[in-house]
Amino acid sequence: MTDIARASSLLTIDVDAVVANWRRVANLIAPAEAAAVVKADCYGLGVAQIAPVLSAAGCRSFFVATLDEGIQLRRILPGGVIYVLGGPVGGGEADFAAHGLIPVLNSLAQITGWATFAKAGSAAPAAALHLDTGMNRLGLEEAELERLAARPDVLASVRPILVMSHLACADDDTSPKNMEQLATFRRLSGQLPAMPRSLSASGGIFLGRDFRFDMARPGAALYGLNPIPGRPNPMAQVVRLQGKILQVRDVDSPMTVGYGASHRVVRRGKIATVAVGYADGWFRSLGNRGHGVIGGFKVPLVGRVSMDLTTFDVTDVPAPLIHPGALIDLIGPDITVDEVAAEAGTIGYEVLTALGRRHHRRWLTRTTEGKPA
């Protein structure tokens, strides 16, 4: 039997759609550079499969979160420009240098640590500086920046090639915080020597030309999430998740379904049990709220999501479509990641990064072989 026939669930990742999304962003913001944020395993979709195709399409700069991710990506992209957002912590500068990783330096302590390391004669790569403009999460505070600006020797040792910041409310184009952060970024970056600047990720790109500077750092938009919530999604959908029906059962009132007997059957009908559960990243918060789609029919998720199983009310679907072995779309042409996220009470980013390891994965591309896991 084939791998697909054996699978309990199938996750199909359209790598060409990722590339199309990157090209759309790159064209939109040119002449600014479009980098690619590939942290968290490309938001759960497979950095080993996606990053090389983005690179082949012309993407030059890549952002990851941690040193581990940087080392992994260096193996995948021997020639790529790789930024590591967390920077070195508790030592680690030598690891950055050994793998040619550009640290994003988030504090005066990281900057002076890097300067000391660079001055010690190692062939340290260049670095990026991260200014906090209102997230209060990572990045140089204004007082630290003033102290840094007074130390041209430190700056010279660090050799910064990019100064960046990050928007807190870019998904809400009515938030006054966006213009505040833009003004702060201009003011603070003006205290540094001239160098390329970057402020925006996916959302910021669509806030307008002023937010694009010399480089933007799209992530979510590449993977098909809507960067402009409330308006039609300009990005191509990347993900399809299909769960296999294990069993179809006849139910009738007054039966209950699942843990906690949380769903009460009110009419004669059919329940399909699908081999996907919260251990697959199909959130438990979807219980009695989510839905799937089969043959164009929307099927409500009833009862609680359990670890390995989810139950759907398929009463209104023509019987020939519903049988053990048939596939229900959990994410697909008729149900987007953003919709699933709304039903789960979260955002599409978390739906993607939670996608589990038990799904049989296939990556679709015209430019490379699709490789099932």
204 to 233, contacts with its own copies by CB under 8 A? Answer: none
Q: Residues 104 to 123: which contact its own copies by CB under 8 A? A: 106-107, 109
Instruction: Pick out residues in 288-347 that bind its own copies (CB under 8 A).
Output: 303, 306-309, 311, 324-325, 345-347
On the question of a cis peptide bond just before residue 254, with omega within 30 degrees of 0, the verdict is yes
CA–CA separation, 160 vs 339, rounded Å? Answer: 41
Coil, helix or strand at residue 102: strand
3-state DSSP assignment of residue 314 = coil
The dihedrals phi and psi of 267, each to the nearest 5 degrees, come to -155, 165
Stretch that binds its own copies, among 80-88, 145-153, 187-195, 328-336 (CB under 8 A): 80-88
How many positions of this chain bind its own copies (CB under 8 A)? 79
Q: Is 39 a catalytic residue?
A: yes
Whose Cβ is closer to its own copies: residue 231's or residue 357's?
357
Indicate the residue among 195 and 354 with the shorter CB distance to its own copies: 354
Could you tell me which stretch among 18-26, 49-57, 127-135, 145-153 binds its own copies (CB under 8 A)? 127-135
85 vs 164, which CB is nearer to its own copies?
Answer: 85
Element (H, E) at 69: helix 67-76
* Best CA proximity match to 273, nearest among 357, 285, 259: 259
Looking at 21, 157, 226, 273, which residue binds its own copies (CB under 8 A)? 273
Beta-bridged to residue 328, according to DSSP, are 243
Based on CB atoms, which residue is closest to its own copies, 32 or 281? Answer: 281
Instruction: Give which of 21, 27, 78, 72 is closest to 46, Cα–Cα.
Output: 72
3-state secondary structure of 269: strand
Q: Does the protein bind its own copies through residue 90 (CB under 8 A)?
A: yes
Q: Which of residues 1-60 bind its own copies (CB under 8 A)?
A: 1, 5-8, 39-41, 43-44
Nearest in space to 166 (alpha carbons), one of 151, 149, 147, 188: 188
Based on the shown chain and the rule CB under 8 A, indicate whether residue 173 belongs to the binding site for its own copies.
no
**Looking at the annotation, which residues are catalytic?**
39, 259
